[in-house]
Amino acid sequence: MTEVKGIFDAMRTPPDAAARALITKAHAFSERAHEGQKRFTGDPYFVHTFETGKNLALFGMDAQTISAGLLHDVLEDAGVTEQDLEREFGKNITFLVTGVTKLGKLKYRGLERHVESMRKLFIATAEDPRVLLIKLADRLHNVKTLGGHTKPEKQQRIALETIEIFAPLANRLGMGRLKGELEDYAFPYAYPDEYKKVREILKEHGKVTEKHVEKVQRSIQKELAKEGFVHFTVDRRVKYLYSLYKKLLRHEMDIEKIYDIVALRIIVPNVADCYRVLGIVHSIWRPLPGRVKDYIALPKTNGYQSLHTTIFTGDGGIAEIQIRTEEMHQAAEYGIASHLAYKEGLFSFLKRARTKQHKSLGWLNDILELQKHMAEGEGDQYLENLKMDFFKDRVFVFTPKGDVIDLPEDSTPIDFAYAIHSDIGNHIGGTKVNSKMVAIDTKLKNGDIVEIQIRKDAHPSNKWVEHAKTTMARRHIKSAIQKKK
């Protein structure tokens, strides 16, 4: 069950001889290092490091990252020294392992140890983004095995942290499948009562929806074949439970208002086919107004692309249909990891992803910026700011030129202005949202076009601190007021 072959089989591109040799060595080293150790579940400890390595293989990671995943706990839990590791596996793998290793128990304790370890994780991630993927692979296995814990408080703490920090991180990387899995494993431990309720609601409604959608599925398959399509797949995807719960919350727990409990997913060879299929679908079924979304021409900020439409099925049902290419499908499931054409190698791709041109990792720079301004010992505050500024639900708004600015929910034009530049924030004279003048504390909504009018003699007031949602805006406002004094 923990043989190295299990890793090779999970890899999305078959490993060459060098990759096999490296992974085999890391596998053997880790197994020996953790020999005799047991996890809280009672399993041999090596099962955990093996599964972490395997998760990385499933994400599509390279041999170095997989090896580092196999070795990720040898420094923290098996008494191996950094020197040993570097001698055996070199600098890169040692860097990856130290990046996910918690700080020493002697110097740091409790919350402080946790917070400082998180800071260290982001600093290491900025250096080599593969560190974060190892942390996520590690967390996925931890949360999968949460049931083995004896202490309910600990189960809940890990589950909440998974939902509040790690799932949003996976989302930021565009790794839809990972995000869904992290949330669904954590859900029953994070919110047990809500979990039971959603299960019940789904039990009643899931079957009915499934029946409607199945009928549409058969019709579409027939229709596409008739239109001459040869290479396509049509399948049903069931919404992740936690994501359904969040949607229910936005709709007063009324399941009748949710149309994508089960959605149809059509995968075709190219973009032109996507639009053709959309045309065919709309010529058969009437679409619900306002629910046709073209995320191909206008991708979500995490890179997600697809056409979405919702149709009346004709027998009283309503169904959502998602249309995309295979490439878009891979990107939606595996995000950043799917871009690896392997030509430039994982490492250099991820490094490039941090630059301005590639927005997928640009937020990392903002986290580092936040960390710079937080002193040690402000642990609670740091975690709160992190959750608020980076991992809360986001709204995506536009500049008049069409650039996307991504902000936490409930942000105001003040946050928007400071997200562009502190000079703009410091001189807000007036704000327009969708061409209308609005108050400065107006809450922004997805898709709003926001325009800031600059006035040279305008300056921030104390009131702004309350109206601003992001830590960054608040910090700039306070320092501008300070300076004026």
The catalytic residue positions are 76-77
Give me the residue label for tokens 């009018």. 453
* 142 vs 411, beta carbon nearer Mn ion: 142
Residues of the shown chain interacting with Mn ion in the complex, contacts defined by CB under 5 A: 73, 138
Beta-carbon contacts of residue 376 (< 8 Å; ≥ 6 apart): 112, 116
Q: Which amino acid is at 142?
A: N
CB of 57 to Mn ion, least distance (A): 16
Phi, psi of 340 (to 5 degrees): -70, 90
Minimum CB distance to Mn ion smaller for 73 or for 116: 73
Min. distance of Cβ 363 from Mn ion in angstroms? Answer: 25
Q: Which is nearer to Mn ion, 34 or 239 (CB)?
A: 34
Secondary structure of 127-166 in HEC code, one letter for each residue: HCCHHHHHHHHHHHHHHHCHHHCCCHHHHHHHHHHHHHHH
Indicate the residue whose CB is closest to Mn ion.
138
User: Using CB atoms within 10 A of its CB, is residue 397 exposed (0-12), middle (13-18) or buried (19+)?
Assistant: buried
Q: How far is the CB of 138 from Mn ion (least distance, A)?
A: 4
Which are the contacts of 110, defined by CB distance < 8 A and separation ≥ 6? none
User: CA 52, CA 68: separation in Å to the nearest integer?
Assistant: 9
Q: CA dihedral defined by 64, 68, 70, 75, rounded to 10 degrees?
A: 160
Query: With respect to Mn ion, which residue has the nearer C-beta, 138 or 415?
Result: 138
Cβ neighbours of residue 354 closer than 8 Å, sequence gap 6 or more? 126, 129, 361, 362, 364, 365
Rounded CA-CA distance 188/159 in Å is 8
Distance, CA of 86 to CA of 81 (rounded, Å): 9
CB of 142 to Mn ion, least distance (A): 7
Q: Which is nearer to Mn ion, 138 or 183 (CB)?
A: 138
C-beta of residue 405 within 8 angstroms of C-beta of residue 418: no
- Nearest distance, CB of residue 100 and Mn ion, angstroms: 8
Residues 6 or more apart whose CB falls under 8 angstroms from that of 250 comprise: none
Supply the minimum distance, in Å, between the C-beta of residue 49 and Mn ion: 7
**Number of C-alpha atoms within 13 angstroms, CB side, residue 465?**
10
Nearer to Mn ion, 138 or 273 (CB): 138
